[in-house]
Homo-oligomer: A and B are copies of this chain.
């Protein structure tokens, strides 16, 4: 039976959530907890909380539920006795992989490999995916330099760097954190690497009214990035790679044109830097293509593409040349979690057989139209409606207004989304279990430019 809409019984968090939060508080900080969920009862786009509130969920566990709650295809994986051994015994995938490992990779990750990539390394989350991609880049850069032998005099720990962008988010472990530049609180008090950071374009909206200004802004950022590479190379702290998201997500849903990325890719090639495209948030289809970077239309868009979240497993695709020269240079105990590969294989089947990429495109159009209408109707509150596929966002006037909107919507069971218009749009999207869950529509209202 499918849910036909939200159904609210209490304010959120309700009394049962509050009791559970009190209990948890004796063991853990609960300042980040929104409410407690009943994951058995949740279904499709509807999240049910422990007070029986059924909410339209377009936040989907920080954008990590690819085809809705309790999708029957996934339940089937779990009840297949053939899979029991995989779920109960977690293998050290790098040393003793299970019999079906290759097959699941071929039908899972490799079935959606970006053009030009024939190799994939699994990891367990977005952070270790990027951390290890960074290591692969440093090793590649040094090994290549060793062959060319024109840079380095001494072996050991070199002074290599990665270039990242203001507003970028690539994770919170110490290596990733050196390339993450969103909120100050994330980096405060934690030692970091001194690596170059370039400006990310701040586009003005609506795009068609600011074509010239935006082109100038992007040219400025590209010039700055190239300058940084040249300068840091000159001072002996070589830029081994450039890391960027196809859409800055945690940093506020910042888009740049496909032309910007095309030119940036050119710069990396010119200066011999690896190009790492972080698709942890954007990968999995919500932009209407399986990988957001496919929109650029390039033959050679990247050297490494990292993923996690909606892909269920973490990991990265890599060009052959990024395979380290020796064993155990990229390694850890589990190297991912094969249970996630089993589930992902089914997710990918569902996305293909049900044409969910097309649906994301269609739904995204409706959603973006809805956002345009909203900002026309409330120009004092809303601005900068933007998006590709269902990966949409709009800016709210200020933080208080945003929080009020979020809270009101949630208590109307249109959780984490907002207002009737959007609700209708998203509701339209969620008529069936098989329908596409938007990436993270909460972000539509959660990112703000405070001017």
Contact = CB atoms under 8 A, between A and B. Distances in A.
A190 B120 contact: no
Contacts of A64: 90, 92, 333-334
Contacts of A110: 27
**Size class of the contact patch on chain A:** 35 or more
Contacts of A174: 131, 134-135, 173-175, 178, 193
A119 B28 contact: yes
Given A33-B97, A36-B97, A37-B96, 13 more contacts: A23-B102, A27-B110, A29-B324, A32-B94, A41-B85, A62-B333, A64-B333, A131-B174, A134-B174, A156-B188, A157-B190, A158-B191, A175-B175
A332 interface: yes
B20 A327 contact: no
B82 A172 contact: no
A91 interface: yes
A32 to B, nearest CB: 5
B50 A70 contact: no
Given A39-B89, A172-B332, A192-B157, A27 B119 contact: yes
B24 A102 contact: yes
Interface stretch (A71-79, A264-272, A296-304, A420-428): A71-79
Interface stretch (A122-130, A213-221, A283-291, A391-399): A122-130
A191 B160 contact: yes
Contacts of A142: 188-189
Contact of A309 (B37, B118, B333): B333
Contact of A332 (B20, B95, B171): B171
A404 interface: no
A27 B92 contact: no
A263 interface: no
Contact of A78 (B42, B84, B327): B84
A434 to B, nearest CB: 15
Contact of A193 (B141, B191, B312): B191
A444 B280 CA distance: 40
A258 to B, nearest CB: 27
Interface string A194-221: 0000000000000000000000000000
A186 B329 contact: yes
A127 B173 contact: yes
Contacts of A155: 188
B124 A124 contact: yes
A102 B27 contact: yes
Given A64-B333, A102-B23, A85 B39 contact: yes
Interface string A167-193: 000011111001000010111111111
B125 A332 contact: yes
A106 interface: yes
A128 B177 CA distance: 12
Interface in A369-400: none
Contact of A39 (B75, B86, B119, B191): B86
B91 A70 contact: no
Contact of A190 (B69, B105, B135): B135
9 contacts: A20-B102, A29-B323, A36-B97, A39-B99, A42-B89, A61-B91, A125-B332, A174-B175, A174-B178
